[in-house]
Chain A
Amino acid sequence: MTQEATHDELGEYQGEHHDHGPAKGLTRWITTTNHKDIGTLYLWLAFIMLLFGGAMAMVIRAELFQPGLQFVEPDFFNQMTTMHGLIMVFGAIMPAFVGLANWLIPMMIGAPDMALPRMNNWSFWLLPFAFTILASTLFMEGGAPAFGWTFYAPLSTTFAPDSTDFFIVAIHLMGISSVMGSINIIATILNMRAPGMTMMKMPLFVWTWLITAYLLIAVMPVLAGAVTMMLTDRHFGTSFFDAAGGGDPVMFQHIFWFFGHPEVYIMILPAFGIVSAILPTFARKRLFGYSSMVYATASIAILSFMVWAHHMFTVGMPIAGELYFMYATILISIPTGVKIFNWVSTMWRGSMTFETPMLWAIGFIVMFTIGGLSGLMLGVAPVDTQYHDTYFVVAHFHYVLVTGALYSIIAAFYYWVPKWTGHMYNETHGKIHFWWSTIAVNVLFFPQHFLGLAGMPRRIPDYSLQFAEFNMISSMGGFAFGLAQIFFLYIVVKTIKGGKKASGQVWEGATGLEFEQLSSPPPYHSFTKAPDIKD
Chain B
Amino acid sequence: MRSPTLKLSLMALLMFGFSFALIPLYDVFVALTGLNGKTGRIEVSAIDPTRVDTTRVIEVRFLANTGSGLPWSFEPLVKKMDVHPGKLYDALYRVRSSTEMPTTGQAVPSVSPGQAAKYFNKTRCFCFTQQYLAGYESRDMPLQFIIDSAISENIEQITLSYTFFIVDKT
Q: Interface residues, chain A, CB within 8 Å of chain B?
A: 115-116, 179, 182-183, 186-187, 190-191, 217-226, 229, 237, 240, 243-246, 248, 250-251, 254-255, 258, 316-318, 320-321
Nearest Cβ in chain B — how far from A116, in angstroms?
7
CA distance A126 to B163 in the complex (A): 44
**Is B114 in contact with chain A by the CB < 8 A criterion?**
yes
- In the complex, are the beta carbons of B5 and A225 less than 8 A apart? no
Residues of chain A contacted by B166 (CB below 8 angstroms): 244
Question: B115, A251: Cβ atoms under 8 Å?
Answer: no
Given A186-B8, A187-B5, residue A221 in contact with residue B165 (CB < 8 A): no
CB contact between A244 and one of B19, B34, B108, B114 (< 8 Å): that residue: B108
A217 to B8, Cβ gap below 8 A? yes
- Chain A hits for B9, CB < 8 A: 183
B143 at the A interface (CB under 8 A): no
Distance in Å: Cβ of A209 to nearest Cβ of chain B? 14
Contacts of B165 in A (CB 8 A): 243-245
Which one of A190, A244, A245 has the highest number of Cβ atoms from chain B below 10 Å of its Cβ?
A: A244
B128 within 8 A of A: no
Of the A-B pairs whose beta carbons lie under 8 Å apart in the complex, a sample of 19, sorted by A's number, is: A183-B4, A183-B8, A187-B1, A218-B15, A220-B15, A221-B14, A222-B15, A222-B18, A222-B22, A225-B22, A240-B23, A245-B165, A246-B108, A248-B30, A248-B36, A250-B35, A251-B23, A318-B115, A321-B33
Q: How far is the CA of A240 from the CA of B19 in the complex (A)?
A: 12
Bound-state Cα–Cα, A346 to B169, Å: 64
B108 to chain A, nearest CB (A): 5
Sorting the interface of chain B by its residue count into under 10, 10 to 19, 20 to 34 or 35 or more gives: 20 to 34
* Known interface pairs A220-B12, A240-B23; 11 further A-B residue pairs with C-beta atoms within 8 A, sorted by A's residue number: A182-B8, A183-B4, A186-B8, A217-B8, A221-B13, A225-B18, A229-B19, A243-B163, A244-B167, A251-B22, A251-B23
Give the top 8 A-B pairs by smallest Cβ distance, nearest first: A225-B19, A244-B165, A221-B16, A221-B15, A222-B19, A183-B8, A318-B33, A179-B12
Tell me if B102 is interfacial: C-beta within 8 Å of chain A: no
Contact of B20 among A219, A225, A317 (CB under 8 A): A225
Bound Cα distance A369, B19 (Å): 33
- A226 and B19 in contact (CB under 8 A), knowing A186-B8, A250-B35, A318-B34? yes
Interface of B is mostly: helix
Min C-beta distance of A157 to chain B, whole Å: 13
Closest residue of chain A to B70, judged by CB?
Answer: A244
Query: Which residues from A are CB-within-8-Å of B163?
Result: 243
For the complex, what is the distance from the CA of A240 to the CA of B14, rounded to whole Å?
Answer: 20
Chain A residues in 8 Å Cβ range of B20: 225, 229
In the complex, are the beta carbons of B22 and A255 less than 8 A apart? yes
B33 to chain A, nearest CB (A): 5
Chain A residues with Cβ below 8 Å from B22 are 222, 225, 251, 254-255, 258
Q: Closest B-chain residue to A183, C-beta based?
A: B8
